[in-house]
Amino acid sequence: MIRKKLSTFKSAGSIGNGCNYISKKAALVGGSEAKFENTSMEEYSALAVKKFEQVNNKFENKSGRKQESKAIHEMISFHKDDDLTPEKAAELALSVWNKALDLENRKHRWAVHTDTDEMHVHLVWNKRNNQGEIYNQKDDYALFEKLLYETEIENDLTIVKNRKFLNPLTPTNPQPSNEYRHEQKGLKSEKSKFKDEVKSAIDNAMSSSDFLEIMDARGFSIIHNGNNAYTLEKDGIGFKASDVGASYKSLKQRFGEDLDFPDTLARIGKKTAPKRDFGGLSGPQFASADDEVTKEEKVKKSKKTLYTRFDSDDGKFFFFKDSPREAFRYERGSVTFNCMSPTAIKAGLQKMVEECEKKNDKEIFVTSDIRSFKRETWIQFQMMGLDKKGYKLNGFEPNQLDHIELRKRKSEFESKFSTGNSSITNVSTVKNPFDKLNESAQKMKEIEEMKKENEEKRKHVSNTRRNVMKPRL
């Protein structure tokens, strides 16, 4: 079980949107008020907003500072090997939230989702309880870790092995980000690359406005989100300015107040990210996006990256999951990409393979003016083992460096999924989890002793240097 905070809601409108979102794909819903059979999901969400606001308005400070965040959206997910019904998943997740948040004493909505391999339960809860007290536990992480672990033990669920509750030396986040995973392998994540380019531009800038001009000249799209907020985007990959150290607040600390910044941002900034055509894939012609599939095929598809990481309402336009950003589109036997994300390219190949299977044609063509795009497509094609399944990719001739990169990727993939590096284990394999606490404590003690020893050596060397450099009397 993993608990993850997803977002903070600051207005009644955002609370309503959050409740609508979690109920949209839900297999089961509930909350502080019962849902009657003759009411729609939209009406149930509207009732939630009404109840949240009744509490917030009743206890809101009439004068002075207003409450900034009104509600929280979070999620508890289960391992794919846990054999649970939606009802049981809701029961276990709500038991944890009741103990940690006193959930029965505050307005809330929950929903169980079964649209991915890992069943998960969403929760939107009011920060004020029914007596008007605002939840202000800044570090509730340890409490949730303890409650989740106890629930796993009591219900014979899969235990999260790298939970910090069991091993204090692990990173705080039990589900490391892609950035952390890349750094552990000695690679740079997309976010790290962004940060490097931002730092370079800041180092070369004379003011906050000058920084925007430099980023614009270097091919970055600056998407204006209102006031002084903006997002930086390049090659289909984007990050909020605050996530890469380029918020106006950070720039102001570096360069001082810049009265021209809002005008520069409005002049250079765009309302939406530009749509780009990086390249495409083509295969069997006249294949329709509306071809019917059997129930068995849908179950099989649900485990593919194409369906777990992307959304599509019409089988034509594919968006990054829970995002308005288009990744690629499929139309009559061709896939056209709006980004160079390896995950999107893999999903696009999966879409092409589906169409190839329908037409019994195993030849795929990659077209692009950008060699790096064709190279990534070839790597994903090889990583998926499509060549061994009889498929052929035309339009790219790999060189020696490309083959070296492919071997490196395969080695990293095998290492990541080897038994010794598994991040999750079954409860039956854990004889005494608390032994890990003792081992970790011993390791921490050894580290502290090494730090002390190094500090003493450093002081000794420093004193020696001072003695050597002391002027002769």
Phi, psi of 73 (to 5 degrees): -115, 120
Widest pairwise Cα distance in the chain: 98
Out of 111-120, 203-212, 288-297, pick the least confident. Answer: 288-297
Do the domain assignments include residue 312? yes
Number of domains in the chain: 4
Q: Tell me if 262 is assigned to some domain.
A: yes
Q: Which residues are CB-contacts of 123 (< 8 A; sequence separation ≥ 6)?
A: 22, 73, 74, 75, 76, 93, 97, 103, 108, 109, 110
Q: What is the pLDDT of residues 182-228, one digit of tens each?
A: 555 555 667 788 888 899 999 888 889 889 988 888 888 888 877 78
User: How does pLDDT run across 224-259, given as a tens digit for each residue?
Assistant: 877 788 888 876 677 888 888 899 988 998 888 888
Q: Is 321 left (phi over 0), alpha (psi -120 to 50) or beta?
A: beta
Q: Do residues 56 and 170 share a domain? A: yes
Do 220 and 170 belong to one domain? no
Residue 407 lies in a domain: no
User: What pairs with residue 141 in β-bridges?
Assistant: none
Residue 188: per-residue pLDDT: 63
Read off the pLDDT band of 171 (50, 70, 90).
low
Is residue 404 in some structural domain? no
In this structure, the answer to whether residues 223 and 297 fall within a common structural domain is no
Residues 368 and 290 in one domain: yes
Mean pLDDT score of the chain? 78
**Is position 416 within any domain?**
no
Query: Within this chain, do residues 22 and 152 fall inside the same structural domain, yes or no?
Result: yes
Smallest Cα–Cα separation from 232: which of 179, 268, 276?
268
Q: Helices H, strands E: what count in the chain?
A: 15, 17
Buried b (16+ CB within 10 A) or exposed e, 368-393: beeeebbbbbbbbbbebebeeeebeb
Do 53 and 167 lie in one domain? The reply is yes
pLDDT at 440: 55
Beta bridge partners of 5: 74
Q: Indicate if the pLDDT at residue 278 is higher than 80.
A: no
23 phi-psi bin (left φ>0, alpha ψ -120 to 50, beta other): alpha
Could you tell me if residue 165 is inside a domain? yes
- Residue count of the chain: 473
Same domain, 241 and 364: no
Domain that holds residue 23: 2-175
Short-list 144, 11, 123, CA closest to 73: 123
Q: Over 50: is that where the pLDDT of 420 sits?
A: no
DSSP label of 421 = G
- In a domain? residue 13: yes
User: Whole-angstrom distance between the N-terminal and C-terminal Cα of the chain?
Assistant: 70
**Interval 40-90: pLDDT, tens:** 888 888 898 899 988 888 887 776 666 678 888 999 999 888 888 989 999
Which H or E element spans position 180? helix 178-184
Of 268, 288, 317, the residue that ends a domain is 268
Q: What is the pLDDT of residues 304-345, one digit of tens each?
A: 888 888 888 888 888 887 666 788 888 878 899 887 788 889
Of 255, 168, 179, nearest to 448 by C-alpha is 168
Listed residue (62, 73, 76) closest to 126, CA to CA: 73
State pTM to two decimals. 0.42
Same domain, 198 and 168: no
Instruction: List 223's β-bridge partners, or say none.
Output: 231, 270
Task: Assess if residue 90 is contained within a domain.
Answer: yes
DSSP state of 245: T
- Same-domain check for residues 136 and 55: yes
DSSP string of 378-414, one letter each residue: HHHHHHTTTGGGT-EEES----HHHHHHHHHHHHHHH
* Shared domain check, 117 and 32: yes
Query: Of 141, 175, 209, which residue is a domain's last?
Result: 175
Question: 350, 380, 398: which is the final residue of a domain?
Answer: 398
* 227 and 247 belong to one structural domain: yes
Locus of tokens 């497509």: 377
Q: In this predicted structure, what is the pLDDT of residue 425? A: 39
Grade residue 450 by pLDDT with cuts at 50, 70 and 90. low
- Quote the tokens at residue 13: 């409108």
| 205 lies in the same domain as 327 | no
**Residue 15, Cα to own-chain centre: how many angstroms?**
21
